[in-house]
């Protein structure tokens, strides 16, 4: 093992300390709040969301109590959302709404919270994949719906309300359609009681949605397979009364669902 003189050790130690000091140096120490915000916005616009977040956190502290600090919170939530850190984005938005209930940007905070939990692939969870929609995804969809509903209710004239309404329609339709996917999956495997339960769930929980027609058809088929002729005939009558032009009784369910759920 090499041995160093006290002088050499002192030089090495000083170099190590200098390196640590350089590594931990805060480059924003002499920056004004406006300068920090400008740099953070540049990172956001360039898609460097992970770099924008710490800058915005510094800005929150430096500009505490000012509108700029509020804007930093909202921008941080957006950066976290775009970086895929949905849990942190929701936490940031919840904190913002708790601290600033009278903020003129409250409607945007609700809209962004809805977007964070929004999953525009819900309608693509196909029965072909045999994948069940996880409880987490269902919860996220419902949380998204609640945020949009609060926005629409409290801020009907907000610039974000029209889009929120469309996304609410999408969420309801896609969750109902998913129930039909699952009911169809069970029916095709001979689990007729389970198919009945999921089809009934789609009909009961989601009113006036396109999936209802298919749910009723699955009820007819499942009751028929179970030999429950009275319930089969009742379901058939409801299907024909609700959808007099239905072609499902002759043609069956389509191989793929039409993309009725796309609005943007």
CA dist 234 to 64, 88, 142, Å?
Answer: 65, 49, 32
Q: Nearest CA to 257 among 168, 124, 141?
A: 124
Cα separation, 82 vs 252, in Å, equals 42
Distance of CA 16 to the CA centre of its chain: 46
Q: Tens digit of pLDDT for each residue in 145-164?
A: 999 999 999 999 999 999 99
Give mean pLDDT, residues 191-196. 96
Residue with tokens 């339960």: 197
pLDDT for 50 beyond 80: yes
Q: Nearest CA to 114 among 87, 90, 91?
A: 90
What radius of gyration do the chain's Cα atoms show?
Answer: 28
The pLDDT, as a whole number, for residue 44 is: 93
Distance of CA 113 to the CA centre of its chain: 8
The pLDDT, as a whole number, for residue 141 is: 87
For the chain, percent of residues with pLDDT exceeding 90: 64
Give mean pLDDT, residues 227-245. 96
The pLDDT, as a whole number, for residue 59 is: 92
Q: Nearest CA to 213 among 203, 201, 198?
A: 203
Cβ contact 184:202 at 8 Å: no
Between 176-180, 185-189, 234-238, 245-249, the lowest mean confidence (pLDDT) is in 176-180
How many CB atoms within 10 Å of residue 261? 18
φ, ψ dihedrals at 221, nearest 5° = -65, -40
């Amino acid at each position: 093992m090499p041995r160093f003189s006290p002088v050499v050790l002192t030089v090495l130690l000083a170099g190590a300390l200098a390196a640590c000091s350089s590594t931990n140096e805060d480059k924003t120490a002499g920056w004004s709040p406006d300068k920090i915000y400008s740099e953070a916005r540049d990172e956001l616009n360039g898609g460097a969301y992970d770099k924008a977040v710490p800058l915005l956190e510094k800005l929150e502290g430096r500009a505490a109590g000012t509108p700029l600090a509020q804007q930093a919170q909202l921008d941080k939530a957006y950066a976290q959302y775009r970086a895929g850190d949905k849990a942190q984005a929701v936490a940031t938005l919840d904190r913002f709404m708790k601290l600033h209930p009278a903020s003129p940007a409250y409607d945007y905070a609700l809209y962004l919270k809805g977007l964070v939990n929004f999953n525009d692939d819900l309608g693509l969870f196909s029965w072909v994949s045999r994948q069940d929609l996880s409880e987490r995804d269902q919860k996220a969809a419902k949380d998204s719906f609640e945020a949009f509903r609060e926005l629409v209710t409290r801020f009907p004239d907000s610039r974000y309300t029209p889009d929120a309404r469309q996304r609410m329609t999408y969420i309801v339709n896609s969750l109902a359609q998913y129930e039909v996917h699952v009911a169809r999956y069970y029916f095709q495997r001979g689990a007729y009681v389970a198919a009945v339960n999921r089809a009934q769930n789609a009909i009961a929980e989601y009113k006036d949605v396109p999936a209802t027609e298919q749910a009723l058809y699955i009820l007819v088929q499942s009751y028929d397979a179970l030999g429950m002729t009275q319930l089969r005939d009742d379901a058939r009558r409801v299907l024909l009364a609700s959808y007099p032009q239905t072609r499902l009784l002759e043609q069956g369910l389509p191989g793929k669902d039409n993309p009725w759920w796309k609005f943007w």
